[in-house]
Amino acid sequence: MNALIIEDEQHAAQRLINLLHETGRKIEILDTLDSIESSIKWLKENPDPDVIFLDIQLADGLSFAIFDQVEVKSPVIFATAYDEYAIKAFEINSIDYLLKPIKQERLEASLEKLEKLRPSLSPDEITAQLQNMILDYHERNKTYRSRFLVNKADTMIPIAAEDIAFLYTEDKVVFLITRDNRKYMINYSLDQLEKQLNPISFFRVNRQFIVAMRSIHKIHNYFNYKLKIELVPVSEQEVIVSRQKVAEFKEWLDH
């Protein structure tokens, strides 16, 4: 088995090399690289290694940038100091991940997993997994709007996202209602707002309404398997969770 190590900390790279040698397996270290730029160049000019040990944070940025420039078809084992929540995407879409400082027994388990999976993994499947991992990572680390600037007469007022109770559209105009029941027009569509607001706190219940979790007072069963929501402050219009969104809405509330 031949391996490529991409790691910008020299002592960490050497530790990994030592641990690999201590496994007693026949592993040839093809090269040790320390940057996105050098990794892209190497991968373009050399055959695919049997495995890549890849640190997430390199000196010149996140190593995900490598995949934007090169179609990586080798199995990847990530080495990272990230906590378990942050690396969920790596666990799902890579061969394995190793938390730093890397332990011998954890490395052994990772190599055993690689040997079992290699015969069933095609290069196209590996590429698809890595692309899914990148999308998942960016989604988890996406930055959402913390405030909006609204107009009132001849003035502009900043409204914090946490102060929004709900947003709705009426006659093609979008209104923002605050938790203390102030009403403002806002120059965004609900489609735009849905992407800008943190989905942990806000939910698009139907075409007309986005509601904040903190504004939900009661939920009632409604006809045709829909739900009816009571909000605080009270909405002038009925707020109905569309039938298609009921399951997702319940999961969101119960998360």
CATH number of the domain enclosing 241: 2.40.50.40
Among candidate residues 115, 140, 165, the one where a domain is terminated: 140
Residue 90 and residue 18 in one domain: yes
Residue 132 and residue 154 in one domain: no
State residue 130's pLDDT score. 73
Total domains, the chain: 2
Residue 90 pLDDT > 90: no
The 10s digit of each residue's pLDDT in 40-82 is 999 999 999 999 999 988 888 888 888 888 888 888 888 877 6
The 10s digit of each residue's pLDDT in 114-151 is 888 877 778 787 777 777 766 666 666 667 888 999 98
Residue 97 and residue 154 in one domain: no
Residue 212 and residue 99 in one domain: no
Residue 94 pLDDT > 70: no
Residue 83 and residue 192 in one domain: no
Residue 196 and residue 125 in one domain: no
The 10s digit of each residue's pLDDT in 163-202 is 999 999 999 999 999 999 999 999 999 999 998 998 889 9
The whole domain housing 59 covers 2-140
Among candidate residues 140, 171, 196, the one where a domain is terminated: 140
State residue 235's pLDDT score. 96
For position 24, which CATH number holds?
3.40.50.2300
pTM (two decimals): 0.54
The 10s digit of each residue's pLDDT in 233-244 is 999 999 999 999
State residue 177's pLDDT score. 97
Residue 191 and residue 108 in one domain: no
- SS3 string of the chain? CEEEEECCCHHHHHHHHHHHHHCCCCCEEEEEECCHHHHHHHHHHCCCCCEEEEECEECCEECCHHHHHCCCCCCEEEEECCCCCCCHHHHHHCCEEEECCCCHHHHHHHHHHHHHHHHHCCHHHHHHHHHHHHHHHHHHCCCCCCEEEEEECCEEEEEEHHHEEEEEEECCEEEEEECCCCEEECCCCHHHHHHHCCCCCEEECCCCEEEEHHHEEEEEECHHHCEEEEECCCCCCCEEECHHHHHHHHHHHCC
State residue 231's pLDDT score. 97
